[in-house]
Amino acid sequence: MTAFVFCRGHCLGWFPALACLAVAASTLLQPALGADLLTVHLDQAKILKMPERTSTLVVGNPLIADVALQPGGILVVTAKSYGVTNVIALDRTGATLIDQAIQVLGPSDKVVVVYRGIERESYSCMPNCERRITLGDTASYFAANLGQTGNLSSQAQGQQK
């Protein structure tokens, strides 16, 4: 069986017809998907207000985003890794109150990525370029930056006591 679509009075074969239908379907579905999608940039957080009856939170993939419920029904969503996941809020009876999709995108600041063969390093350039810890960087570069950040944090906490 051959499918045909008429676009502005012209008959198209089955392959162009499928392509035309796919574009039309994606155009129609895009606003619906975007309306329910919470976008968070890597290494940032967003806040959502949860219904008062929320007693349980379920995160589809906590490696992509993590959540923490604060007093007053404030939900803090923290981006952890690239991808899409969801958070579901349930009441005490197990009824679904919210099923919110969460998309984690790359950093929102100006990032410069340097490749040295297969080695990758990332720099935050606002206004000066400084090393940053970014998923996907070479393991040794990532570990060195993470170690320095941890040492600095430990030193700062030691000074505050």
Residue 38: per-residue pLDDT: 96
94/115 same-domain check: no
- 101 and 143 part of one domain: no
Residue 59: closest CA among 70, 69, 45: 69
Do 28 and 17 belong together in one domain? yes
Which pLDDT value is given to residue 100?
A: 96
Burial 52-86 (b: 16+ CB within 10 A, else e): eebeeeebbeeebbbbebeeeeebebebbeeeebb
CA-to-CA distance for 102 and 59, rounded, in angstroms? 10
Contact 48, 102 (CB under 8 A): no
The pLDDT tens digits of the residues spanning 75-89 come to 999 999 999 999 999
By three-state DSSP, how is residue 86 classified? strand
Domain hosting 98: range is 37-105
pLDDT of residue 161: 53
Q: From the CA atom positions of the chain, what is the Rg in Å?
A: 23
- Judge contact between 79 and 103, C-beta under 8 A: no
CATH code of 83's domain:
2.60.40.1080
Q: What integer pLDDT is reported at residue 160 of this predicted model? A: 59
Same domain, 31 and 62: no
Q: Are residues 116 and 83 in the same domain?
A: no
Show the low-confidence residues of the chain (pLDDT under 70).
Answer: 1-35, 159-161
Length of the chain equals 161
Together in a domain, 93 and 51: yes
Q: Give the pLDDT confidence score for residue 159 in this predicted structure.
A: 66
Q: Locate 112 and state its tokens.
A: 């410069």
Q: How many structural domains are present in the chain?
A: 3
